[in-house]
């Protein structure tokens, strides 16, 4: 298993797999197989894939620990960057066809529509993460600070789910499905952190005769 995970070819294969949804969209554009509302089709597809890649990225740590596969870390940055790739395409389908590349109109929309605000917040939160994804930036920021910054992916994923939930009219099954997965992945982290803290906590010795209330 380990040999497979650290193989260069596995990484190349995963990279190509991550490009399949993009390739499918390009293929559909060329063949004009995007249905009656092509813009909406592209918006929904890129939005879906953003949420999926955020979920893949957030799954790496739990899977590493639960299945004792530390080498999975080799794929986390790539998956995260693909989430950013798809969210950028998603943003472009909004800025272009919906807002006609009019930035002032876009800002008004971002300020006025809660579901756009949420989606935009998620996008903006992911920008520094993509920028500081290199080894050089980890060194420059220091591991602790870098990790703290990159925890904003939790917030971005939650914003992304709310963005979707606020968009739909009445059938909330799909946003709730994504929401349940993101919630599970975040709750696992909370549980992991809690149990680790308990097992590592130093034994507290309270001096006799000292009352907490003074």
Q: How many Cβ atoms are within 10 Å of 83's Cβ, its own excluded?
A: 28
Binding of residue 36 to another protein (CB under 8 A): yes
Q: Residue 91 CB, nearest distance to another protein (Å)?
A: 16
Q: In the Cβ-directed half-sphere of 126, how many Cα atoms lie within 13 Å?
A: 28
Selected from 11, 62, 69, 109, the binder of another protein by CB under 8 A is: 109
* CA 15/CA 4 separation, integer angstroms: 15
Q: Residue 35 CB, nearest distance to another protein (Å)?
A: 6
The helix or strand, by DSSP H or E, that contains position 101, with its residue range, turns out to be none
* CA 16/CA 162 separation, integer angstroms: 30
Selected from 52, 65, 97, 188, the binder of another protein by CB under 8 A is: 97
Among residues 2 and 112, whose Cβ is nearest to another protein?
112
Contact pattern for another protein over residues 119 through 158, marking x by CB under 8 A = ----------------------------------------
Q: Residue 178 CB, nearest distance to another protein (Å)?
A: 16
Selected from 48, 71, 98, 192, the binder of another protein by CB under 8 A is: 98
Binding of residue 104 to another protein (CB under 8 A): no
* CA 128/CA 108 separation, integer angstroms: 23
178 Cβ neighbours under 8 A, 6+ residues apart: 51, 55, 160, 161, 164
Q: How many Cβ atoms are within 10 Å of 57's Cβ, its own excluded?
A: 23
Q: Which residues bind another protein (CB under 8 A)?
A: 33, 35-40, 97-98, 100, 109, 112-115, 166-167, 169-173
């Amino acid at each position: 298993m380990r040999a497979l995970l650290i193989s260069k070819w596995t990484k190349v294969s995963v990279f190509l797999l991550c490009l399949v949804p993009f390739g499918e969209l390009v293929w559909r554009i060329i063949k004009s197989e995007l249905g009656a509302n092509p813009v909406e089709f592209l918006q929904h597809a890129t939005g879906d894939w953003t949420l999926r890649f955020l979920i893949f990225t957030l799954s790496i740590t739990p899977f590493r620990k639960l299945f004792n596969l530390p080498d999975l870390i080799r794929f986390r940055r790539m998956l995260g960057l693909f989430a950013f790739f798809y969210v950028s395409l998603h943003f472009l389908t909004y800025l272009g066809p919906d807002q006609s590349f009019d930035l002032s109109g876009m800002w008004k929309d971002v300020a006025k529509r809660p579901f756009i605000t949420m989606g935009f917040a998620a996008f903006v939160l992911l920008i520094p993460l993509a920028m500081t994804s290199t080894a050089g930036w980890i060194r420059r920021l220091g591991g602790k600070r870098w990790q703290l910054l990159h925890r904003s992916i939790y917030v971005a994923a939650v914003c992304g789910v709310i963005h979707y939930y606020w968009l739909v009219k009445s059938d909330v099954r799909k946003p709730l499905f994504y929401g349940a997965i993101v919630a599970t992945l975040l709750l696992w982290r909370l549980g992991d952190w809690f149990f680790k803290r308990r097992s590592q906590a130093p034994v507290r010795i309270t001096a006799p005769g000292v009352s907490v209330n003074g």
